[in-house]
Structure 1
């Protein structure tokens, strides 16, 4: 029999589910099964579960025809489980590496009915908070098991289902199942502790309990939080049924109930102000109804005062006390903000007269009306006319000519703009005026921190690639790659977004995790790739001629990504040897990452007629169309180039170092878009042998295109314009 059955319900967790499953399946203990329950999720959670099931026989997927909620979905998984123990893991949490060895050893050695494991709260800003286990048990519990009446303090451990493993036969014998509704853990976890003859505690952090910035019920206001009362009523009605066997535990369970009610009440992200008096009245009602005859241990201090106010139904006094606490906390935050603001660096910035004048001008323009026909575009920190914003701009000129589009560009890039494109120079009063008054702001990166989100304006984040390397908040785990990033400021910028444009389901999943906010995702394909779909032979020949490339020449484009840990990165291969492998008709185009556009260093002496540095070319789409083969590493270029269905080579000589320094979302050498080389010799041999176009490379490219390029049909920009500018839902 399998030792552990993991039950993982999935609903709207596509951005987190892969990390959860990887953390389970990558454990050294392999005597497990994973029951993934797709709770009729409207996103791609079900497809992710199916993907894992297709490649790992330990994973089984159940797809529900309608959404039933977390509790009933767990029951479905429990009914399918075959393991001796069941672990209900939430799909947005993840296990600590290697923790399962200690868990399995403890299960085999002590055979508990319930084994509670420790956890940390993993916050979106990459900080963690230890659980209260050390406060509940000042001394390590050890391997011995106990009943709750022997150690009633165990009831104070967090009452969730995901921080404990339960013997499956124990659950079946006692008829323990989840009830529908929010706070479903309450009416499952407490009865399990009350019924268990053998409770174990493993003082080892095993679960990262994700504290989501958005999307969690604990950060969602509404009257569904009143369902917590029904769940606690089920606990006490069950205790009534069990009678004297659990009477001595009523005081500790009652204290936990009042604590939980108050935790929900005082959280402003759950209970709206107009609902608080009614919620408080329900707490007082339950206090009187379920108060144990002999009383209960009332907490000390301010917490105990809250309990006494509940007991007497004094809502106004409770509200006044809460207001006083909030005012005190707010005053403390203001003091800390002032201290942070008045720093030497801030004072130096304030002395920069020109910046101060421009910011004041911008603030003055914010008081003027929003221009209902103005759209402002930018790309790559004002580097020019490019990428998704350029494609959207062109579609808007055709489909919504009433909208005036203006580009913000650096002064040194003005000469790269196409004829007829209206622009303002970055850092000028005209640029600040456009930013202040535009109704639409479209960018493939973020606008500067000082830009405000005005009511009635629409910010469109188009992004500029499908992510291989980790991005956004996920970078916090990779300090080398994230050096100098202010993540709090990043989130303030993300909060301005109204729309996030994604090219495929995978991008949607990663962006929603890396940039958690309340924007709307438009999974429509990348507008910049429309041209790759629609370009004909004539356009390709024209571009090749402009680049000095002949019709019969074999053109290879090398486009690596940026490496934060390797400043001044240079191509790790010998261009001459590659050209020898290509033969006399071979040509090599080398394009550095756009981060290096002001750090041009000449390539070492090579055959200048056959090697071209195209880093300064304004439109990368031209280079894609001109090239017969793409060689890249961990760059999003491969996803765009795959639209053309031409050969791609992944050249990854430093994958391990890059993975450790920057982090990757998936291994492109394991799921490549074509042939793979890890050394300069392998790269040359791929071209010399013809493996670049071999059957294996073709199969890999087909699978890659099927996964990532389905939406690239030539109409992505049109879909964006109709939704964003014309409000065609």
Structure 2
């Protein structure tokens, strides 16, 4: 038996009754000694008995903790609640509708201990209506320590800063102690964007390692990616925070193009969906987007817009004109 958990797994879950048992069962299959893992389920205002279903695993997971919120506080704050309760030497996240292959965490921690890095990042399998597709982290070099700042640019290619899934990694306790694992409180979506930027800008080392597998369930009807309401617009304050991080960095000129291109691409995506949004959500998107766009330095913004493809540029034309800039 171990006195301190080897790893804390933070599981935010809201109305995940159909899936939470799969998640919890997978966590019982990670180590020979079940006391090595501390599982912290944050039941974020569920009305379907999610917390009670998770509690049934107490005997199989002796380190299990259940935190209950009477009303939902959102994914970011729920993860922070779990982080505040975590005591493990390492920390990771698992969404309440996902699960891990047997021995996944034990394998990853062996690699992490050998490499002695601040955090590791992992590939994942997307499961959509039973179909499984492997998705790889953008960094091809595996099993070697890397500088996380070197894997932010270039703006025109997919890099590790685009691979923002918090659950696709394991993090040293020292990252939590340094405040690098906290999410922006109150955000329901896009909370991982400022989080991944802070991690890559301020951590000292990381690695990408192969692992038995994270299984990520797609297309769940209760997922916020499937629900269109004001919470979808959290990417606007999220990128305001990203821009603040970049602006204060010693190499801001190097990273601004990537941050700007990310935001413009996501903004164009949401504007293309505006016709599917409730009228008040679409109006709020159009009225607020220009202000965030203006946070990008003029030269960077102009160059980013000039490099856009025609479809995205057309989506942004009204926003740019409203914010006082022409796309011509």
Q: 1:311 to 1:13 in 2, by over 3 A?
A: closer
Q: Does 1:228 align with 2:232?
A: no
Question: Is the CA contact 1:112–1:199 (under 8 Å) kept in the aligned structure 2?
Answer: yes
SS in structure 1 of the partner of residue 266 of structure 2: helix
Cα deviations by residue, 1:285-307 (Å, 9 ceiling, x for unpaired): 43332147456985999x63345
SS in structure 2 of the partner of residue 36 of structure 1: strand
Cα deviations by residue, 1:250-303 (Å, 9 ceiling, x for unpaired): 2222222222333334347973477446525644443332147456985999x6
- Which of 1 and 2 has higher RCO (CA within 8 Å, sep 6+)? 2
SS in structure 2 of the partner of residue 150 of structure 1: helix
**In 2: Cα distance, 1:312 partner to 1:265 partner:** 10
Quote the offset at 1:222 in angstroms: 1.5
Match of 1:249 in 2: 255
| Residue among 295, 303, 309 paired with 1:289 | 295
Match of 1:88 in 2: 93
**In 2: Cα distance, 1:4 partner to 1:312 partner:** 48
**In 2: Cα distance, 1:269 partner to 1:127 partner:** 30
SS in structure 2 of the partner of residue 53 of structure 1: coil
- Gaps of at least 5 residues in structure 1 are 317-729
- Superposition map of 1:365-380 within 5 A: none
Q: 1:219 to 1:53 in 2, by over 3 A?
A: same
Match of 2:143 in 1: 143
Question: Is the CA contact 1:23–1:97 (under 8 Å) kept in the aligned structure 2?
Answer: yes
**In 2: Cα distance, 1:70 partner to 1:204 partner:** 25
| Residue among 56, 62, 77 paired with 1:57 | 62
Q: Does 1:123 align with 2:162?
A: no
Name the TM-score, length of structure 2 as normaliser.
Answer: 0.81
- Superposition map of 1:167-206 within 5 A: 167-174=172-179, 176-178=181-183, 179-183=185-189, 184-204=191-211, 206=213
Cα deviations by residue, 1:589-631 (Å, 9 ceiling, x for unpaired): xxxxxxxxxxxxxxxxxxxxxxxxxxxxxxxxxxxxxxxxxxx
Q: 1:287 to 1:131 in 2, by over 3 A?
A: farther
Q: 1:130 to 1:296 in 2, by over 3 A?
A: farther
SS in structure 2 of the partner of residue 21 of structure 1: helix
SS in structure 2 of the partner of residue 229 of structure 1: helix
Equivalent pairs counted in the alignment come to: 309
Question: Is the CA contact 1:187–1:231 (under 8 Å) kept in the aligned structure 2?
Answer: yes
- Superposition map of 1:80-479 within 5 A: 80-124=85-129, 126-131=130-135, 133=137, 136-137=138-139, 140-152=140-152, 154-174=159-179, 176-178=181-183, 179-183=185-189, 184-204=191-211, 206-240=213-247, 242-267=248-273, 271-272=277-278, 275-276=281-282, 279-280=285-286, 282-291=288-297, 293-294=299-300, 304-309=309-314, 312-313=317-318
SS in structure 1 of the partner of residue 261 of structure 2: helix
Higher radius of gyration, 1 or 2: 1
Match of 1:616 in 2: none
Q: 1:180 to 1:278 in 2, by over 3 A?
A: closer
**In 1: Cα distance, 2:245 partner to 2:52 partner:** 39
Cα deviations by residue, 1:56-94 (Å, 9 ceiling, x for unpaired): 313222233443222212111111111122111111111
- Superposition map of 1:577-656 within 5 A: none
Q: 1:202 to 1:264 in 2, by over 3 A?
A: farther
SS in structure 1 of the partner of residue 30 of structure 2: coil
**In 1: Cα distance, 2:286 partner to 2:210 partner:** 36
Question: Is the CA contact 1:96–1:205 (under 8 Å) kept in the aligned structure 2?
Answer: yes
Cα deviations by residue, 1:409-461 (Å, 9 ceiling, x for unpaired): xxxxxxxxxxxxxxxxxxxxxxxxxxxxxxxxxxxxxxxxxxxxxxxxxxxxx
SS in structure 2 of the partner of residue 290 of structure 1: coil
- Gaps of at least 5 residues in structure 2 are 153-157, 322-328
Q: 1:108 to 1:7 in 2, by over 3 A?
A: same
SS in structure 1 of the partner of residue 277 of structure 2: coil
| Residue among 6, 9, 18 paired with 1:3 | 6
**In 1: Cα distance, 2:86 partner to 2:58 partner:** 15
Cα RMSD of the aligned pairs, angstroms, is 3.1
| Residue among 23, 27, 30 paired with 1:27 | 30
Name the TM-score, length of structure 1 as normaliser.
Answer: 0.39
